Amino acid sequence: MLGVISNIFAYPISPRPLRLRVSARQHIIVGYVVKTQEKKKEENEWNTRIAKIAILESLQGNLSKDTIEIEFNPNMGCPAPDRYFDSTYVISFFDKNDQNGKFYTHALSYGAKTLDMDEIRIYKQRILEIQKILKIRNKKKQRIETVEWLVKCAENETTRWEGTFELSPQSHFMSYYYGSRNIDYKNSITVSQRERLKNVLLNNDEDIDFGIVDVVYITNEIMIEEFLLTKLKNLKEEEYWIATDLMQRLIHKNVGDEMNEILEKFEEIRFDGDNIAELEKLVKKFIDLIE
C-alpha cells in the first residue's frame, strides 16, 4: 500500500492557476501563520505538520472561526507540497474534509501563497475581480473579461504565472500534466493587449517569461527573434539551463541538420555543471549558424 501511495505522489498534479483555484469554490483567506508544529505521529502516517493560521480576512467561503489549523507535509518531493512558515502572511486556498472536519490546502503548492502585504493586495484584487467575472452568464462577455483579467495578471510579476500559464500553457513544461483543461485564450487577445504584454517582456531585464514570448510573437516575429538572440548571446553560466528554450524558438533560422544536432548535444549535458565550457561552445556554434 505504501509503495502504491509513493508512486501516485511521484508525479506532479495538474497545474492550478488562480482562475481555477477560485472557481473550485473552496475557502480562500488572507491569514497570518502564528506557528507551525509537528503533528503527533500515528501509525502509518507521514511526517505531517500543522499550521495554526489567524484569519485576517475571508475572501471566499463561510467560516465562523478566528483561527484554523491546516495539516501539511513539507517534506514531500513531488508533487510540490504546500508549505507554511512561522510568522508569515499567506493567502491560503483550502478545503474541509467532511468526514473528519480537518482543513487541507487545495492543490498543494498552488494553494499556499506566502506573500508580503503588497503582494497580498495584488492577489486579493485579482481574486475579487475573477469572482465577479465567473458570475457573468453571457459566455462571450465572460471570455472577453477573462482574457483582459489574464493579461492584467501577466502584467504584474506577483501574478505573472497565473496569467501566462492560461494564455499560453504549451509554453510551460507543466502543460504536460494539464489534461483537458486547456482553453484557447491566446487567440482572443486584442492588438492592444498584445502590445501591453510586449512591453512587459521588453522592459524586464531579469527573467524571461516564455509564455509572454509565445503570445506576442505573432505580428512581432522579427523583433522577438532579435530579442531572443540577444538574450542567448548574453546568457551567464548559471543561466544556461534556459538556453534550450531560446534555441528551440530560433532553430528555424537555419534549416540544416547541424542546428538539431547542436540542440540534441546541448540537451544531453544541459544540467551538467562540469561541462560549462562545452555548453558555451555549443551555444556559440548555434549563434554562428544563425548569423
The pLDDT tens digits for 200-238 are: 999 987 789 999 999 999 999 999 999 999 999 999 988
- 72 pLDDT exceeds 80? yes
Question: How many C-beta atoms surround the C-beta of residue 130 within 10 A?
Answer: 22
Question: What count of Cα atoms within 13 Å lies in the side-chain half-sphere of residue 230?
Answer: 9
140 and 108 in a common domain: no
Mean pLDDT of the chain: 89
**Would you say residue 247 lies in a domain?**
yes
239 and 209 in a common domain: no
Residue 103 phi/psi, 5° resolution? -100, 140
**Would you say residue 125 lies in a domain?**
no
**Element counts in the chain: helices (H) and strands (E):** 11, 6
- 81 pLDDT exceeds 60? yes
Q: Which of 80, 115, 150 is the last residue of a domain?
A: 115
Residue 131: what pLDDT?
98
- 282 pLDDT exceeds 90? yes
pLDDT in tens, 155-188: 999 999 999 999 999 898 766 666 656 688 999 9
pLDDT in tens, 2-49: 333 333 444 678 899 999 999 998 899 999 999 999 987 664 466 789
Cα of first residue to Cα of last residue in the chain, in angstroms, is: 57
Residues 82-104 have a mean pLDDT of: 94
State the total domains in the chain.
3
Residue 3: what pLDDT?
37
**Would you say residue 38 lies in a domain?**
yes
249 and 213 in a common domain: no
**Would you say residue 129 lies in a domain?**
no
Residue 77: what pLDDT?
75
Residue 1: what pLDDT?
31
**Would you say residue 226 lies in a domain?**
no
Residue 42: what pLDDT?
64
d(CA 209, CA 19): 19
**Would you say residue 130 lies in a domain?**
no
269 and 246 in a common domain: yes
111 and 26 in a common domain: yes
d(CA 192, CA 38): 51
Q: Which of 219, 242, 270 is the last residue of a domain?
A: 219
pLDDT in tens, 119-162: 999 999 999 999 999 999 999 999 999 999 999 999 999 999 99
**Would you say residue 225 lies in a domain?**
no
**Would you say residue 193 lies in a domain?**
yes
Cell 463561510 belongs to: 62
Q: What band does 264 get if pLDDT is binned at 50, 70 and 90? A: very high
**The C-alpha cell that represents 167 in the structure block:** 494564455
Q: At what angle do helices 139-155 and 160-167 cross, to 10 degrees?
A: 130
| CATH code assigned at 51 | 2.40.50.120
d(CA 267, CA 223): 26
Domain range enclosing 195: 136-219
Query: In whole angstroms, how far apart are CA 69 and each of 22, 36, 96, 109?
Result: 21, 9, 11, 17
DSSP string, 3-17: HHHHHHTTSPPPP--
256 and 194 in a common domain: no
Q: Which of 195, 219, 243 is the last residue of a domain?
A: 219
245 and 205 in a common domain: no
26 and 96 in a common domain: yes
